[in-house]
Amino acid sequence: MNSDLCNRCGSCVGLSNGIITFENKTGKYLPKLHGELSNELADRIWHACSGKEFDFPFYRKKTFGDNINFHNYTGVYRNIYIGHSKNEQIRKNAASGGIISGILAWLLKNKKIDGAVLLRMSENQPWMNEPFIATTKEEILSAAQSKYTISSVNEILPEIEKFDGKLAYVGLPGQVQSIRKLQEINYPSVKNIKYILGPFYGNTLHFSSVKSFLKSYGEKDYTQINKLYFRYGEWPGNMRVELKSNRIIELPKFHANYLIPFHILKNSLLCTDLSNEYTDISGGDAWAPVYEERGKGFSMVISRSEKGQEILDEMIKENEISLNPIEIDEAITMHSHGYDLKKRGTFIRMKYRKWMGLENPDYGYTNKGFSFSRYLMEVMIDIMFIVLGTKPARFLVEKIPPHIIGGIFEKSRTIWKKSTHKIKREKLS
């Protein structure tokens, strides 16, 4: 198995009847085979795998039909908005504007769903995330905020199949793509899923990021974690660890981003889907000074399907959410850094990998025609990930206080973004 291609969506585990499980979730987090799969089951698992292949054009037409607005970077869209939940409790507790949590709570209240497939931090192992089916508003809110370590939501497929009622499903792009592949063959495990929502996606971190973060503060035992948050408090939030000793460790979210180059999951750099293109509704932070400076969460919201747009229209009428429409060019510019990383950088990286004889995922399309300066920039980025992902680099960074390395990282990132601004935005929209 090629671990670079595995996005840990969890479908192989969820479909295998216990023959495949994930091993070492606080380490490499890879699936392990415990017996023989029948040919039929192996074929089904292979079909559901979104890590090796997901034909974007085929599933775009299959999911959304013809006569749709489409941009190569955003995917299908009916409307694009900037907004937030009007419920201050939901907005305050969410990673950005509380849109996804607000939509789920509204769907449940109006009996359009009976439950929602979500990700929360485990009660028994609070340092790990776990998928579950929320059936109350309180459970929905308990799953609010981002979880940046590896998750495998589709492990829960057997529970989804057994659930008596209609479900909404929330997942990352690779997880959503696998669900769409199963829907395409009318597989029983996904028959109860009526709506698919999802956040924008930048990257995923190995659990080593949490262990390294603790070591930097002199804490070596992650099992002493009582609560773990990745975006605690009001926007943009803090990485926060509450230990059984009552010690609280907290670092601003933008400073905690220093962990990314040291602990990123390699598959994150092979994902071309920033804005979760195969959802009914997707949402992510509104990255623009006009919103960031207010210190409250604002979301960019993209409605893609007819039923997704109907949800937003009804919620606007009931004064549940605030949404202001924006144009496609503004949406792309707002996330230019992310789109450049996903829609340009990924295809450049895959070209390098092909030269080295490495396998790449097949997305059914490609982007090309980038400038020499963009290729050169990608070489620098990839060298950084290679060097900082080594054990010596991780060891050294753990000796530097996080508030210092975090501050250095944020300033360096700002300088890098300014110096590469023109390259990233060239012909972007």
Q: Which two tokens stand for residue 55?
A: 């034909």
The model's pTM is 0.96
Q: Give pLDDT, residue 297.
A: 86
Q: Report the DSSP beta bridge partners of residue 20.
A: 33
**Close Cβ partners of 243 (under 8 Å, ≥ 6 residues apart):** 219, 224, 225, 226, 249
154: which residues sit within 8 A by CB, 6+ positions away?
A: 9, 10, 11, 13, 14, 131, 171, 175, 178, 179
**For residue 3, what pLDDT is reported?**
78
With a CB cutoff of 8 Å and minimum separation 6, the contacts of 387 are 393
pLDDT attached to residue 420: 84
- Radius of gyration from C-alpha coordinates of the chain: 21
Contact 399, 45 (CB under 8 A): no
Which parts of the chain register pLDDT below 50? none
Question: In 233-371, at which residue ranges do the beta strands (DSSP E only) sit?
Answer: 238-243, 248-252, 281-285, 299-303, 321-325
User: Is residue 214 within 8 Å of residue 222, measured between CB atoms?
Assistant: yes
Give the Å distances, CA to CA, from 245 to 34, 213, 241: 39, 17, 11
Give Cβ neighbours of residue 364 (< 8 Å, ≥ 6 apart): 54, 55, 56, 57, 58
Tokens of 391: 């054990």
* Confidence (pLDDT) at 423: 75
Closest to 98 (Cα-Cα) out of 144, 63, 132, 140:
144
Query: What distance in Å separates the CA atoms of residue 147 and residue 349, rounded to the nearest whole number?
Result: 26
Task: Please give the pLDDT value at position 429.
Answer: 57
Round to whole Å and give the CA distance between 93 and 211. Answer: 25
pLDDT digits (tens, 9 = 90+) for 81-140: 999 999 988 998 877 889 999 999 999 999 999 999 999 999 999 999 999 999 999 999
